[in-house]
Chains A and B, each alone.
Chain A
Amino acid sequence: QVQLVESGGGVVQPGRSLRLSCAASGFTFSRNAMHWVRQAPGKGLEWVAVIAYDGSTQYYGDSVRGRFTISRDTSKNTLYLQLNGLRPEDTAVYYCAKEEGTTRFDYWGQGTLVIVSS
């Protein structure tokens, strides 16, 4: 069965960096685009980034472009999100999601919490 397991969250000071990971299993990782979606405490879902199935293209939401980088390692079946220049407003649960269609995310991880605070 498909599983997505995020890790790497924690408490970090403003301006610092963090790398999130999403370990994928139960499907052919190299065949699907992958997304990161976040949710601030008590707020709605915010789309963060997408990476193509082969890693050739990446797109980002306006609020993270230039600070976050999405990548993937097919040999490890793992998706990453590098978070640089963190701000308090980046505090959120970060989910990875498997794309089966353009906005069709059929599997989601359980999320990892990032708290940006001094």
Chain B
Amino acid sequence: QSALTQPASVSGSPGQSITISCTGTTSDVGNYNYVSWYQQHPGKAPRLMIYDVTNRPSGVSNRFSGSKSGNTASLTISGLQAEDEADYYCISYTTSSTRVFGGGTKLTVL
């Protein structure tokens, strides 16, 4: 099972919006609405930001949103804030009943 494909890095200025893509195949992202997104700050455990493509857990800002089209899922962060600077990972369920993460994207707030 190959890792899902994410851009290595994205950046944006405070107040702007950015989108991180997560590309898989028909064996994972394209076949299920079981894609989640995690935020990880250095030295910390990951934090759930979006689950089941579009759902936001309680306590997560509504500046975070998710979507999916075909084999590609996306995480959009609007109104960028300095605290959003972190690594972001997508994860999908697969046809083998396993899970697979993306390679991760480093978000820099300029």
Contact = CB atoms under 8 A, between A and B. Distances in A.
Closest 5 CB pairs of A and B: A44-B104, A104-B51, A108-B45, A103-B36, A102-B34
B103 interface: yes
Nearest to A110: B45
Nearest to A35: B99
B40 interface: yes
A47 B93 CA distance: 11
A100 B38 CA distance: 14
Interface of B: 1, 3, 32, 34-36, 38, 40, 45-48, 51-52, 57, 87, 89, 91-93, 96-104
A29 interface: no
Interface residues of A, number: 24
A99 B48 CA distance: 11
Interface of A: 35, 37, 44-47, 50, 57, 59-62, 95, 100-106, 108-111
A61 B1 contact: yes
B29 to A, nearest CB: 11
Contacts of B100: 47
B48 A111 contact: no
Contacts of B87: 44
